[in-house]
């Protein structure tokens, strides 16, 4: 793998004597890691080792064929880089700083594909409202699908420019900006990140990030928090933008005091408490992280956190009695789906993969006619309609898998 020479030169200036170890690490294969869904227990990876900063995170010794695991499609786990799992721990610590409220409102401004959003969700108390925004329209479908699988009911995927959110006011307890960036931290596993890199790209990304951060800062309630992250290494997109938020936008950097044995590096040439996940020190891809607090006077009685954009994916049909009405897939995968509404048919792995490929099914003798739910290891996959001799597979066409053993 060949890294851009301009990038190497910049890293030598940035890291000094650490550069050789960094470059060696950048030539190693990426690590494989997964994060279990605490609201959908069922998956296990006994061969895995724990991720220090995420209690549901596990490193795997090899990369399984995740596509052929029905539990992935049921939302039992998320395949995610370990560095990004820090969003779980950050959210947990921010809730503690807030006094562990019963529920909060969260806005993820740059959410696709959804890994960091779901990591935050895992730390949230039930009833918290989450708005997951993605500016790039073609990426919204994968965000929506991943959130749907995760099953948290009080989340919405929206497609808006970040400039639209300040009009709602400063109403969110936690706002996350995992900003579009030059992608230096992804170079060892993404050829496009290596090919597209240039000093001009770094400058353009830094300017865009400041625009997004200005919009984000206007949505954080007094006493609330802003999380900023990138998957890049340079100071322009990282430490210099932290200075911008602190000195020009007026938010206060927050020191989260991560344990030293986690191996998370501090910032470079900055007085502010920021964090760097460096591949020659931590197991994971490159990530930069900073957290800020809106220093305004905290409201003693926060408004109800149900925002206009934060609605469930699906209509509430739990009170319907019509057994012939097919629920939407988002409703079925939600953890608050009423499992008593329809018969549930447990499938073997082979049958589950057949179902996920949208192939025809023959259900067990005695299965009631009409709408039934397909499940694997107790977790719902989607609907089918039993017509007696066979079942019509109602798994969504746009979600079917094509891969075979």
* Residues classed as catalytic: 231
Contact 288, 232 (CB under 8 A): yes
d(CA 32, CA 314): 33
Q: Are strands 220-230 and 287-293 parallel, antiparallel or unpaired?
A: antiparallel
Scan for tokens 């995740």, then name that residue: 66
d(CA 230, CA 53): 18
Judged by DSSP in three states, 226 sits in strand
Contact 196, 183 (CB under 8 A): yes
Contact 108, 120 (CB under 8 A): yes
Scan for tokens 């990530």, then name that residue: 287
d(CA 95, CA 89): 10
Strand-pair partners of 58: 34, 50
Residues, the chain: 405
- Fill in the DSSP letter of residue 82: G
């Amino acid at each position: 793998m060949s890294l851009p020479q301009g990038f190497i030169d910049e890293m030598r200036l940035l890291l000094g004597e650490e550069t050789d170890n960094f470059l060696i690490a950048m030539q190693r294969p990426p690590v494989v890691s997964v994060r279990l869904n605490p609201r959908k227990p069922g998956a296990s990876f006994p061969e895995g080792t724990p991720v220090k900063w995420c209690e549901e995170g596990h490193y795997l010794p090899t990369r399984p064929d995740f596509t052929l695991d029905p539990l992935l499609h049921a939302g039992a786990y998320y395949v995610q880089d370990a560095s990004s799992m820090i969003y779980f721990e950050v959210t947990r610590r921010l809730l503690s700083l807030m006094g562990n409220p019963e529920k909060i409102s969260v806005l993820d401004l740059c959410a696709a594909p959804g890994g960091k959003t779901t990591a935050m969700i895992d730390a949230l108390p039930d009833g918290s409202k989450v708005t997951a925004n993605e500016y790039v329209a073609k990426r919204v479908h994968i965000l929506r699908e991943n959130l749907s699988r995760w099953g948290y009911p009080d989340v919405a995927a929206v497609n808006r420019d970040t400039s639209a959110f300040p009009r709602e006011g400063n109403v969110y307890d936690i706002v996350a900006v995992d900003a579009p960036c030059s992608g230096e931290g992804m170079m060892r596993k993404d050829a496009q990140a290596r090919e597209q890199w240039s000093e001009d790209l770094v400058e353009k990304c830094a300017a865009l990030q400041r625009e997004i951060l200005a919009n984000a800062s206007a949505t954080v309630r007094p006493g609330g928090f802003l999380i900023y992250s990138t998957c890049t290494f340079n100071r322009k997109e990282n430490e210099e933008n932290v200075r911008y938020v602190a000195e020009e936008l007026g938010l206060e950097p927050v020191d989260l005091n991560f344990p030293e044995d986690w191996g998370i590096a501090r910032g470079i040439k900055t007085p502010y408490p920021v964090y760097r996940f460096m591949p020659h020190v931590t197991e994971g891809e490159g990530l930069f992280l900073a957290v800020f607090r809106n220093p305004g006077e905290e409201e003693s009685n926060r408004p109800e956190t149900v925002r206009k954009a934060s609605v469930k994916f699906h209509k509430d049909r739990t009170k319907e009695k019509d057994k012939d009405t097919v629920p939407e897939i988002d409703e079925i995968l939600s953890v608050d789906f009423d499992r008593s509404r329809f018969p549930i048919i447990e499938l073997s792995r082979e049958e589950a993969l057949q179902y996920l490929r949208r192939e025809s099914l023959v259900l067990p003798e005695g299965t009631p006619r009409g709408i039934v739910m397909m499940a694997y290891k107790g977790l719902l996959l989607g609907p089918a309609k039993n017509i007696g001799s066979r079942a019509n597979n109602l798994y969504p066409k746009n979600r079917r898998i094509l891969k075979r053993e």
